[in-house]
């Protein structure tokens, strides 16, 4: 009885397939689904779920989420909390508070229009703003950890609203506490970024330099960088609306020098990037391509020809298909190069 009363008051839907909630268009059902448009709504939904003994999962645009065929046996809350306001201006920079449910690319567009630098290279990344710190989104030389000051969140463990500083977030390459030690604990309600009132200056990320050279662009504005990134991404990455995908399906890998050297001996042209001390980052797209998998169709999943890091759901009918394709790619790369690549999107 209590359950039905709460479900109808809070406008909760039941049994919604994750194929409708994720850009990969796969996955079993969400037992309950609700939307939160204010912090209070989000807190109320959490408290009611707890009262009913239900687990909670927060989602945004579903662009970095893979769900198994059994779905989620609990309450899924779609974060739609809005907001965009300047909370501090010190002359050289502005600090901006952004509601977690705001579309990320609209936030980038707005900051570029305002002449604020720091996230222009993160243009055209799908998803909502509150998801950006979870995987520490990064592209073309920027990552959100470079500009983030703090996040506001609901702490489901202590039932309080909290502020988590940059240090608290524990950022590293495509990682934070939100997908590590604190996974499932915090629901991010707002992110706060410090952006600078300045124009971008060279040197730019290689692909952007190339774009500027080809178009003979010498007026390096924020809008020019944003346009360059949008064009480069459009050419390399499939539109999730037309071709279901989750962006990079694999992370680039960080290996020890000796492991990279073993590959370089046989493939001296392999691109690699120096990390701290004895580590190098290797592009997984190169490994998959060199293992002759680019363009292949495995279990209904197409390895994208524009960038082999991306898997497109062409005709897969279940998570099991995706998992079979993923495992085949991982083991083919391991057999050829003796390194283990890892999935990038969160999986539940």
Catalytic residue numbers read 174, 248, 344
180: contact with ligand EPU by CB under 6 A = no
Question: Across the strands, what pairs with 29?
Answer: 17
Both structure tokens of 159: 């039932």
Alpha-carbon distance 174 to 138, whole Å? 7
Q: Please, where are the H alpha helices in the chain?
A: 2-9, 39-51, 104-113, 166-169, 206-214, 222-236, 257-266, 284-290, 319-337
Residue 241: Cβ within 10 Å count: 8
Report the residue from 39, 65, 75, 237 that binds ligand EPU according to the rule CB under 6 A: 237
76: contact with ligand EPU by CB under 6 A = no
Alpha-carbon distance 139 to 127, whole Å? 14
Stretch of 33-41, 70-78, 158-166, 243-251 contacting ligand EPU, by CB under 6 A: 243-251
Stretch of 74-82, 209-217, 278-286, 312-320 contacting ligand EPU, by CB under 6 A: 278-286
307: contact with ligand EPU by CB under 6 A = yes
Report the residue from 157, 271, 338, 340 that binds ligand EPU according to the rule CB under 6 A: 271
Stretch of 146-154, 164-172, 211-219, 307-315 contacting ligand EPU, by CB under 6 A: 307-315
Residue 132: Cβ within 10 Å count: 29
- Residue placing its CB nearer to ligand EPU in the complex, 21 or 341: 341
- Residue placing its CB nearer to ligand EPU in the complex, 75 or 339: 339
Q: How many residues does the chain have?
A: 348
Report the residue from 22, 252, 313, 343 that binds ligand EPU according to the rule CB under 6 A: 252
Q: At its nearest, how many Å lie between ligand EPU and the CB of residue 290? A: 7
Both structure tokens of 222: 């924020």
Enumerate long-range contacts of 219-224, CB under 8 Å, 24 or more apart: 222/112, 222/115, 222/116, 222/117, 222/120, 223/112, 224/200
- Residue placing its CB nearer to ligand EPU in the complex, 39 or 131: 131
Q: At its nearest, how many Å lie between ligand EPU and the CB of residue 186? A: 22
Question: Across the strands, what pairs with 156?
Answer: none
Residues that bind ligand EPU (CB under 6 A): 139-140, 207, 237, 247-248, 251-252, 271, 283, 285-286, 289, 294, 307-309, 344
């Amino acid at each position: 009885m209590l359950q039905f009363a709460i479900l109808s008051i809070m406008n909760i839907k039941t049994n919604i397939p994750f194929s409708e909630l994720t850009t990969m268009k796969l996955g079993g059902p969400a037992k309950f689904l609700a939307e939160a448009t204010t912090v209070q709504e989000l807190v109320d939904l959490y408290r009611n779920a707890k009262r009913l003994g239900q687990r909670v999962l927060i989602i945004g645009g579903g662009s970095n989420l893979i769900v198994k065929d059994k779905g989620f046996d609990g309450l899924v809350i779609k974060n739609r909390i809005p907001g965009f306001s300047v909370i501090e201006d010190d002359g050289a920079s502005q600090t901006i508070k952004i509601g977690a449910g705001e579309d990320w690319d609209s936030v980038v567009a707005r900051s570029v229009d305002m002449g604020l630098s720091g996230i222009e290279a993160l243009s055209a990344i799908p998803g909502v703003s509150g998801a950006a710190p979870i995987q520490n989104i990064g592209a073309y030389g920027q990552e959100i950890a470079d500009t983030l000051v703090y996040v506001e969140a609901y702490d489901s463990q202590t039932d309080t609203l909290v502020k988590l500083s940059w240090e608290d977030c524990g950022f590293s390459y495509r990682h934070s506490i939100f997908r590590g030690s604190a996974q499932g604990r915090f629901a991010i309600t707002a992110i706060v970024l410090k952006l600078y009132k300045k124009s971008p200056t060279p040197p730019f990320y290689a692909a952007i330099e190339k774009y500027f050279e080809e178009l003979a662009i010498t007026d390096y504005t924020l809008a020019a960088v944003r346009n360059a990134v949008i064009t480069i991404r459009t050419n390399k990455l499939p539109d999730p609306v037309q071709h279901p995908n989750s962006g990079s399906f694999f992370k680039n890998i960080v290996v020890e020098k000796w492991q990279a050297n073993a590959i370089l001996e046989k493939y001296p042209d392999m691109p690699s990037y120096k990390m701290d001390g004895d580590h190098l980052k290797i592009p997984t797209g190169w490994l998959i391509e060199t293992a002759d998998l680019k363009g292949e169709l495995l279990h209904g999943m197409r390895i994208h020809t524009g960038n082999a890091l991306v898997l497109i759901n062409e005709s897969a009918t279940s998570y099991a298909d995706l998992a079979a394709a993923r495992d085949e790619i991982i083991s083919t790369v391991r057999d050829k190069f003796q390194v283990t690549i890892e999935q990038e999107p969160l999986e539940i």
